[in-house]
Amino acid sequence: MPKDRTPTRIQQKNRAAILEAALNVFSAHGFRGSTVDQIAAEAGLSKPNLLYYFPSKEAIHTALLSGLLEVWLAPLHALNEDGDPMEEILSYIQRKLEMSRDLPRESRLFANELVQGAPRIHEALSSDLKNLVDEKTAILTRWMDQGKIACVHPYHLVFSIWALTQHYADFDVQVRAILGGEDPFEGAGPFVELLYRKLLTP
């Protein structure tokens, strides 16, 4: 196991390669469906070598999840009370949709975890995530009280945004099977924008 001191170039490179490979594998097969050999092969390392950098399969998984949670929540963090309410919300939605398009592996990694009861990130949900959502729904509620956007259940508003945008990453196969060759995001962008404009216009 490498020391905790300043990591060498090799350590940085290999840790990064492992996390990148693990993202590919875990997001495609879930935790239980992925094997250490698979991740090692994808990272271009032997299995014992991989286990030299991370003590176990589970350690890789949690390192991935906790490392990506920040990235995943960044768009919501950026929601700014001082901006124009409708524009703030719509640009949050657009950022989430772009993340589904550009980071589908990350979306599916979390989807895999959540759909199976989030055994490994349950605590993060009810602490970090809940705090963030509480904070941002408070902003939404204030906007509603001020009549700047229509009055709807703020938590379910957030859920709906997550559901709508992440659907395109998580259930990509289904969407594409139905749309045929058409690019899903071509139509999705205008659709969700129209939807939330109509919903939130006072």
Residues forming contacts to its own copies in the complex (CB under 8 A) are: 28-33, 108, 111-112, 114-118, 122, 125-126, 129-130, 133, 150, 152-153, 155-160, 162-164, 166-168, 170-171, 173-175, 177-179, 187-188, 190-192, 194-195, 198-199
Q: Which regions of 51-115 does DSSP assign to beta strands (E)?
A: none
Other CB atoms within 10 A of residue 89 CB: 22
CB of 42 to DNA, least distance (A): 13
Q: Which stretch binds DNA (CB under 7 A): 7-15, 77-85, 91-99, 135-143?
A: 7-15
Residues in region 55-114 near DNA by CB under 7 A:
55-58
**Three-class SS of 84-138:** CHHHHHHHHHHHHHHHHHHCHHHHHHHHHHHHCCCCCCHHHHHHHHHHHHHHHHH
125 makes contact, choosing from DNA, its own copies, none, with CB < 5 to 8 Å by partner type, with: its own copies
Helix, strand, or coil here: 6?
A: coil
30 makes contact, choosing from DNA, its own copies, none, with CB < 5 to 8 Å by partner type, with: its own copies
Q: Which residues contact 82 (CB under 8 A, 6 or more apart)?
A: none
Is residue 47 a contact partner of residue 36, using CB atoms and an 8 Å limit?
yes
CB of 29 to its own copies, least distance (A): 6
Q: Based on the shown chain and the rule CB under 7 A, indicate whether residue 164 belongs to the binding site for DNA.
A: no
Helix, strand, or coil here: 186?
A: helix
Is residue 74 a contact partner of residue 44, using CB atoms and an 8 Å limit?
no
Residues in region 37-56 near DNA by CB under 7 A:
37, 45-49, 51-52, 55-56
Task: Out of 21, 23, 26, 34, point to the residue binding DNA (CB under 7 A).
Answer: 34
